[in-house]
Every structure is written in structure tokens, then in C-alpha cells.
Amino acid sequence: MDIAGLWDPEPGWLNTASYGLPPKPAWEALQAALSDWRVGATSWEPWDESTGRARESFARIVGADSEHVFVGSTVSAALAPVAAAVPDGAKVLTDNVEFTSNVFPWQVHADRGVQVLAVPSDKLVESITPGIDVVAVSAVQSSTGDVLDLPAVVAASKQIDALLVIDATQAVGWHPITVDGVDALIAHSYKWLMSPRGATLGYLSPRLQERCRPSAAGWYAANDVHGSYYGPVMELAHDARRFDQSPAWFSFVGAAPALELVEQLGVETINRHNLALANEFRDGLGLPPSNSAIVSTNLPGAQEAFAAAGIRAAVRDGKLRASFHIYTTRADVHQALSALKPLI
């Protein structure tokens, strides 16, 4: 597929791990909806159709049945009913650099004895031992770019019958991943899925759906959405929709075409593009090749050098973090390396 014209980034954007750039179809869909909103040209139902499209697209991308996919606003809010469902005294294993959206929802249950145990990334699999009730970890780490050995984590979790909860925010959209062997897989779409912030999608396994109470249930979680605006009669959806949070319309208006474009391009194709550029950047820094689109390195003065050259990246945990996506070019890589050359 020819991607020319789908994005128009200013040169030097190496920060998709903070937020992704919208493709033209997503941007135009959002502008059209905002224009209609401004003058009251339509009701809200056409905007909400995008929520269903995004749900279906996300399900296909992660290999799930759409009936097991729910929508929300943030990862931490999506995980709240899951964390509430674990028993008193449960032990939750996580990475010691895990983004806090997959840590705090568990820690707030400390008053009922829920313990969060954090270990280094390279010790995670060996730490999945009897006594661990939940493994909560990112598919790709935000700060380091480390890619989880998901098959090994799935196998170890299955062996002790621990719930496996994956934050896939830094993975879905460039890293091939499926829900096989996973109990919950949650992703916010505003990074690698290049959507407006506010559109989170998640998978819940049937066994986890049975354990969880849909504590944020509202009209949108009802079996008959349009028949549940008023009154005390509650009949929730019988699938994962009962965990839906009422969607931020415009976020999903932008998300649906962005996710569908990821499908059209193919995650494998995006993965090859991203890794080629990331590894060219790594090679220029004298680093070995990696399987991540995120490059994290401790290079004193890099932040200032990037800023002087007009390159937008990030600093996380004291290290420079550069991230490479489908709209990144070799010219971006060369510009970044030129900026850093005096420091190498």
C-alpha cells in the first residue's frame, strides 16, 4: 500500500511512544465530526458508529472475538474492575519499571492485603512461581522499550493458573501480538494506533469476565443501549460490552479509521519498517540490534542536542527515548544521528 500523503509529519518526530500522529483518514473524520458538532448538523449516533468499528478492528488486530472486547477511556480505569475482583491477600507480580497504569490499580487494594511484587525484567519469568495470583506486565516497556517474551510468560502463568494481565499500549499497532493465553489485554490507542487520546480498548477472557463485577456500568453497558436511558431496570450486555464505559465520541471517530488503516497496512509490515529504522539508529549509536521500535540509551547531552536540532523525542527514567513508526523516514534517523554525532 502506498502511504505517501497519509501523514505529513514535521521532520524529526521520534516520539510515538508519547503520542502517535493521526493518518489522514482519521484526521479528516475527526474534523468532519467537529464541524457537525459546532453547528448541530447531526445527532450523536453516527459518531457512535465509530465505537463499534474500532471495537471490531481492535478485535481483529489482536486475534480476539469482538464479543470479548470492551471500550473505555484509560488503561487504569479499564483495569479497575479486574483489580477489584482479585481475592484479599492476592499477590500481583509486575516489572519494576512497569508503567503505573498497570501498577496503581492493584496497589490501591493494599488495605485488603493485595501485594504488588516488582522484579527486574530479566527476572520476571523465573519469578512466576506458586503463590503468585496475577501477572500484570506490559507487552513492551514504556521506559526501556524491552519486548516481553509473551509465550514464556503465558506458559509460566498457565502452569500456576495465575491470571495474566497485559498492558499492550506500547505494542499494539507495530508489534504482532494476540490474546492467546491472556486473560486481559488492554491498550490505549493514542500511541502506536495513532488515535485521539481517550479511546481505550481491551480484551477480557470469558473466565475473567465471570469473575469481574462491571462496577462502572452505565447506559452504554446495557443489553439494549437505547432502551436504557432512564429508570431502575438494569439488564446489562451478556458479553464484554457490560464492561464498556460510555465512549468519548470524537476519540473513537478518530480511532476507527486509524485502526482500520493499521489493518490495511498490516502489523507485520509496520513492524519491519519500524525495526529497520530503529536498528539503523541503534547501529549509529554503537548499540546492538534489537526487536523493539523504542530505543532507550544513556547518552549525556542527548536531550539538549536533540532540542537544538529540532528533533522531538523523550527522556524517560533519565535516558533518551526515541521511537520509530510507520511515518518515520531514514532522513529522520540520519538527522537524529547527525545531532548526536558530537556526543558519540
DSSP label at residue 176? -
Q: Which residues of the chain have pLDDT under 50?
A: none
SS3 15: coil
The reported pLDDT for the residue numbered 146 is: 97
Task: In the chain, list all ranges with CATH 3.40.640.10.
Answer: 32-263
- What is the identity of the amino acid at 312? R
- The residue type found at 7 is W
Q: What is the dihedral of CA 151, 155, 156, 157, to 10 degrees?
A: 100
Delimit the CATH 3.90.1150.10 region(s) of the chain. Answer: 267-343
Round to whole Å and give the CA distance between 153 and 170: 17
Q: Which of 296, 336, 303, 300 is nearest to 317 (CA)?
A: 296
Bridge partners for 92 per DSSP: 116, 134
Query: What CATH code is assigned to 32-263?
Result: 3.40.640.10
CA distance 33 to 42: 9
Grid cell for residue 29: 473524520
Contact 138, 170 (CB under 8 A): yes
C-alpha–C-alpha distance, residues 135 and 71, integer Å: 22
20-43 burial by CB neighbour count: b if 16+ within 10 A, else e? Answer: bbbbebbbebbeebeeeeeeeeee
CA distances from 140 to 109, 145, 147, 263 (A): 25, 6, 5, 20
In Å, the largest CA–CA distance within the chain is 68
* pLDDT computed for residue 318 by the predictor: 84
Select from 277, 283, 259 the least CA-distant residue to 326.
Answer: 277
User: Is CATH 3.20.20.140 what the domain over 267-343 is classified as, yes or no?
Assistant: no
User: Is the distance from CB of 308 to CB of 339 less than 8 angstroms?
Assistant: yes
What is the rounded CA–CA span in Å between residue 215 and residue 162? Answer: 23
Closest CA to 238 of 70, 74, 81, 58: 70
Q: Which pTM was predicted?
A: 0.96
Length, in residues, of the chain: 344
pLDDT at 266: 98
| pLDDT (tens digit per residue) in 62-82 | 999 999 999 999 999 999 999
pLDDT at 4: 80
Q: How many angstroms separate the CA atoms of 84 and 123, rounded?
A: 27
Per DSSP bridges, beta strands 184-188 and 294-297 are unpaired
Residues 6+ apart with CB under 8 A from 126: none
Amino acid code (one letter) for 24: K
